[in-house]
């Protein structure tokens, strides 16, 4: 069933808005996901299974070199899967003008503070502000 003229205009308007807001994401949607990423993920999963088989064969046959080789194959395969998933499309960070009010008051992490600890501390401060216990 074809779209009405009104629906087609709305769809074109949404597409233009998406292209203006995030052209890289819109282009990736238009062209579909990359086959190379899928092949990398599938190859990594198969490699991990083969590596696990080699590892188990090495342990059961009391052949440590085969077990070590199987572990290395598994490690490489997991790296392939992770890189395939990450390569698939990491979203861009928002521009400073697009920040929400909640994000506007976030401070940069202190020197030597990891991202996890900075986020944890920020959440703690936000919770205290909400409860009226400003620190």
Give the orientation angle of helix 23-31 with respect to helix 5-21, to 10 degrees: 130
Q: How many other CB atoms are there within 10 angstroms of residue 79's CB atom?
A: 13
In the block, residue with structure tokens 């030597």: 112
* Phi-psi map region of 32: left, alpha, beta (phi>0 left; psi -120 to 50 alpha): left
Q: How many other CB atoms are there within 10 angstroms of residue 47's CB atom?
A: 19
pTM of the model: 0.42
What's the rounded Cα separation, in Å, for the pair 67 and 8? 59
Give the pLDDT score at 92: 41
Nearest Cα to 119, choosing from 108, 133, 104? Answer: 108
Residue 97 backbone dihedrals phi, psi, to 5 degrees: -75, -20
Give the pLDDT score at 98: 45
Q: What is the pLDDT along the chain (135 residues), one digit of tens a residue?
A: 787 888 888 888 888 888 888 877 777 666 655 666 778 888 899 999 999 999 999 999 999 999 999 999 999 999 888 887 776 544 444 444 444 444 444 555 555 566 778 888 888 888 888 877 655
């Amino acid at each position: 069933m074809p779209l009405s003229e009104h629906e087609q205009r709305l769809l074109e308007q949404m597409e233009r808005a998406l292209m203006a807001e995030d052209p890289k994401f819109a282009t990736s949607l238009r062209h579909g996901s990359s086959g190379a990423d899928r092949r990398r993920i599938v190859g990594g999963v198969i490699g991990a299974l083969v590596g696990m088989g080699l590892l188990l064969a090495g342990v059961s046959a009391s052949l440590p070199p085969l077990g070590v080789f199987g572990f290395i194959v598994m490690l490489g395969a997991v790296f392939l899967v992770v890189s395939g998933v990450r390569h698939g499309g990491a979203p861009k960070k928002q521009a400073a003008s697009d920040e929400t009010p909640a994000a506007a008051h976030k401070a940069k992490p202190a020197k030597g503070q990891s991202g996890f600890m900075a986020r944890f501390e920020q959440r703690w401060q936000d919770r205290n502000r909400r409860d009226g216990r400003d620190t």
